Amino acid sequence: MGQFVCIVIGYFIGAIIQTSYWYGRHKKIDIRRLGSGNAGTTNATRMLGKKAGVITAIGDVSKVFLAALICWGIYRDAAPTTLIFLCSGLGTVLGHNYPFYLGFKGGKGVATTCGVIISLFFLPNNCWIMTIIGVITFFVVLYTTGYAAVASLALVSEFLIEFIIWGASRNLELHQGDLAQGVIIVIIIVGLTFLRHRSNISRLLNNTEHRFDFGKNKK
């Protein structure tokens, strides 16, 4: 029951704090009518500039911490911290991707998923290594390929592998049923990322995907 409540709390926080959408409305623009139509960091950067992208990324990552903090405050004595963070994180990603008041049309959840990975930095047993490897993976792949979608898919795939390895080595303080739940939640988060990137995958296969602009001529 507690896990479900954490997901629900995360969902509403993820949906309401729709950073690029509210930033765009402040500028009298609906970000969902521009570019890829997604209310996320990449589209905000391309359509509204780097400042909008940075603000969006910060907002979409921070709301994961807000949800995790609220849920941890409620259930810290009833469930493992890792499971609390994952459940609230999953809810936040769902809320970001499918906000109820915007016709369930939000972002692709990459920055929000990054927030989930970053939140593990604060867990014991060197879990911060997972965060560091994840961040490095994302930016290395982004810079070397120029594709935000490829970097995003590499990030979540690497996160799933890391989580399984850390869990198997008993560094997540999750055992038996709790560990199985954790793995299932991570698989769902990864699945959501791939699901939301269907069009990107199609364009990648057709060699028509847009490259990320690093401020230099890169084709």
pLDDT digits (tens, 9 = 90+) for 189-209: 999 999 999 999 999 999 998
- In angstroms, rounded to a whole number, what is the distance separating the alpha carbons of residues 98 and 156? 19
- Tell me what percent of the residues of the chain surpass a pLDDT of 70: 97
pLDDT digits (tens, 9 = 90+) for 19-50: 999 998 988 988 888 887 788 888 888 888 88
Q: What letter represents residue 44's amino acid? A: A
Q: What residue segments make up the domains of the chain, in order of their start?
A: 2-205
- In this prediction the pTM is 0.90
- In angstroms, rounded to a whole number, what is the distance separating the alpha carbons of residues 121 and 170? 16
Instruction: Indicate the length of the chain as a whole number.
Output: 219
